[in-house]
Chains A and B, each alone.
Chain A
Amino acid sequence: MNRFAEIVRRDIRLALRQGSDSIMVVTFFVLTVVLFPFGIGPEANILERVAPGVLLVTALLASMLSLDRLFQADYEDGSLELLVLTPTPLEVVVAAKVVAHWLTTGLPLLAAAPILAVLLNLNGDGFSTLMLTMLIGTPVLSLIGAIGAALVLGARRGGVLLSLLILPLYVPVLIFSVGAIDAAVQGLATKSHLLILGGMLVAALALAPWAASAALRQALE
């Protein structure tokens, strides 16, 4: 547990000192969402209709932007070898890195979302559900993304390959998140959607560190 906290602390410190990754992710999220009213016109009811989809697709793309750095920097400077040789299961190391990744990218996205939701004229019921789905959904994105980031280590143009690998796996998260917000906007029950999202989070928590560890070991062979 000490080691887990140590890795989380170190990765957050690295992200804060380098700064660029978190800021880039949020800036991308904000700028891309702001483009939509320009592209499809300022009509309030159209914007309200597309708001859940726009916000979630953009958040998903933004979180993917930072993924290729998740293991790549450690891989290049030799830190990954030492992390693999840490006297603790590699799964714990991976989980710690994913937690740090979520805190430095998922959480800022969550913070930026309310402002953008207002911009897209999302109504009050949809608003709270949006926050809830993003709270459950963004950790899933980080977890699944870690598998992809570990798999493309050492590949050239890994970033492009990563998006091809990961985007299809993000589809279920997208479907149920948008489903929940749409239901909330129309005044229907959102519980079933949120429960399925929660199930995805639990499954990803259990499986992703394990799969990413296997890929990391392979990358270092």
Chain B
Amino acid sequence: MTDPGANPCDFSGSKLVCVRGGRVVFANLEFGLSAGDALVLLGPNGSGKSSLLRLMAGLLKPFSGALAWQGQPVVENPEGHAHRTHYVGHHDAIKPVLSVAENLRFWARLHEPEAVAAGRRVENALDRFGLSHLAAIPGKMLSAGQKRRTNLARLLAAPSPLWLLDEPTTALDRKSIKVLETVMAEHRAEGGMVVLSTHADVDLPGARELHLDGFAPSEELAEMFL
């Protein structure tokens, strides 16, 4: 397909069109990410930030256009793509009857069975997000912010280069946002990539911005898909 040399980006999308419920959300969207990059998705409600993140994660299929990882189309290897991606969506996927540590350990082992079993990654992840003292508490006792932190701890509990974060700061206090910013900076310093949508101020030095309202379809294009 594409020559890897011609495309310097590790993760890229070209000519992406997203159609939701018969409506064109965005069209001809292009992006490219290299190691250490961060991309902030901006735009009003309904401009397609979540749709783009779900599309990048592989939960949605693009209407047309393609995603590529190091020049290889993502659709050719969906499992490989899932392995190198962490997706944090609107729901926290915390089971009420499992403890914080059990919840986290399950997702981490599912993502990377060997690496998680070998190290103390789960304990470290809990520690970073200030959850160590809650490790044995069942999920149903957690506040919204604590649930969100448990969900974010997945990022550290199992390694993956590409982080797709859909409004990760929701319900987080100022201190936890700082932790998240530090964690993202370290991840990028190690060559990881972050794509993030947000309405709050998140400090991501050197991050590029993608304004989704710029990709809203023109009138004739929107009619083409009807």
Question: How many A residues touch the partner, as a band?
Answer: 20 to 34
- Chain A 84-128 per-residue mask, 1 if CB under 8 angstroms from chain B, else 0: 111111000000000000000000000000000000000000000
A14 touches B98 (CB 8 A): yes
Interface secondary structure of A, over-half rule = helix
A7 located at the interface, meaning its Cβ lies under 8 Å from any Cβ of chain B in the complex: yes
B188 located at the interface, meaning its Cβ lies under 8 Å from any Cβ of chain A in the complex: no
- Chain B 104-132 per-residue mask, 1 if CB under 8 angstroms from chain A, else 0: 00110111011000000000000000000
B90 located at the interface, meaning its Cβ lies under 8 Å from any Cβ of chain A in the complex: yes
- Chain A 53-97 per-residue mask, 1 if CB under 8 angstroms from chain B, else 0: 000000000000000000000001111011111111100000000
A2 touches B82 (CB 8 A): no
| Residues of B contacting A18 in the complex (Cβ-Cβ under 8 angstroms) | 97
B79 located at the interface, meaning its Cβ lies under 8 Å from any Cβ of chain A in the complex: yes
Partner of A88, one of B79, B85, B107: B79
Complex alpha-carbon distance, A66 and B102, angstroms = 24
- Chain B 29-45 per-residue mask, 1 if CB under 8 angstroms from chain A, else 0: 00000000000000000
Near B by CB (< 8 A), chain A positions 10-30 give: 10, 13-14, 17-18
Instruction: Name the residue on A nearest B85 (C-beta).
Output: A85
On whether A81 and B113 interact (CB within 8 A), knowing A14-B95, A87-B82, A88-B79, the answer reads: no
Complex alpha-carbon distance, A196 and B10, angstroms = 52
A49 located at the interface, meaning its Cβ lies under 8 Å from any Cβ of chain B in the complex: no
Instruction: Name the residue on B nearest A13 (C-beta).
Output: B98
B212 located at the interface, meaning its Cβ lies under 8 Å from any Cβ of chain A in the complex: no
A220 touches B59 (CB 8 A): yes
| Residues of A contacting B210 in the complex (Cβ-Cβ under 8 angstroms) | none
B153 located at the interface, meaning its Cβ lies under 8 Å from any Cβ of chain A in the complex: no
Near A by CB (< 8 A), chain B positions 58-83 give: 58-61, 79-80, 82-83
Question: How many B residues touch the partner, as a band?
Answer: 20 to 34
B110 touches A3 (CB 8 A): yes
On whether A77 and B113 interact (CB within 8 A), knowing A85-B85, A85-B87, the answer reads: no
| Residues of A contacting B177 in the complex (Cβ-Cβ under 8 angstroms) | none
Instruction: Name the residue on A nearest B112 (C-beta).
Output: A87
B94 located at the interface, meaning its Cβ lies under 8 Å from any Cβ of chain A in the complex: yes
A221 located at the interface, meaning its Cβ lies under 8 Å from any Cβ of chain B in the complex: yes
| Residues of B contacting A82 in the complex (Cβ-Cβ under 8 angstroms) | 87, 93, 107, 110
Partner of A77, one of B60, B79, B87, B93: B93
A85 touches B93 (CB 8 A): no
A85 touches B59 (CB 8 A): yes
A84 touches B89 (CB 8 A): no
Instruction: Name the residue on A nearest B79 (C-beta).
Output: A87
Complex alpha-carbon distance, A76 and B90, angstroms = 11
| Residues of B contacting A85 in the complex (Cβ-Cβ under 8 angstroms) | 57-59, 82, 85, 87
A86 touches B92 (CB 8 A): no
A79 touches B93 (CB 8 A): yes
- CB A92 to nearest CB in B, in angstroms, measures 10
A17 touches B106 (CB 8 A): no
| Residues of A contacting B110 in the complex (Cβ-Cβ under 8 angstroms) | 3, 6-7, 82-83, 86
A3 touches B113 (CB 8 A): yes
On whether A81 and B95 interact (CB within 8 A), knowing A2-B113, A86-B111, A89-B79, the answer reads: no
- CB A83 to nearest CB in B, in angstroms, measures 8
Instruction: Name the residue on B nearest A86 (C-beta).
Output: B110
Instruction: Name the residue on B nearest A79 (C-beta).
Output: B93
B94 touches A77 (CB 8 A): yes
11 contacts between A and B (CB under 8 A): A3-B110, A10-B98, A13-B102, A14-B97, A76-B91, A77-B91, A78-B91, A81-B89, A81-B91, A81-B93, A85-B85
Report the 5 A-B pairs with minimum CB-CB distance, sorted nearest first: A78-B91, A87-B83, A2-B113, A17-B97, A78-B93
Q: Please name 16 further chain A to chain B contacts, defined as beta carbons within 8 Å, in addition to the given A6-B113, A7-B110, A78-B93, sorted by A numbering.
A: A6-B109, A13-B102, A17-B97, A76-B91, A77-B93, A78-B89, A79-B95, A82-B110, A85-B58, A85-B59, A85-B85, A86-B110, A87-B82, A220-B59, A221-B59, A221-B60
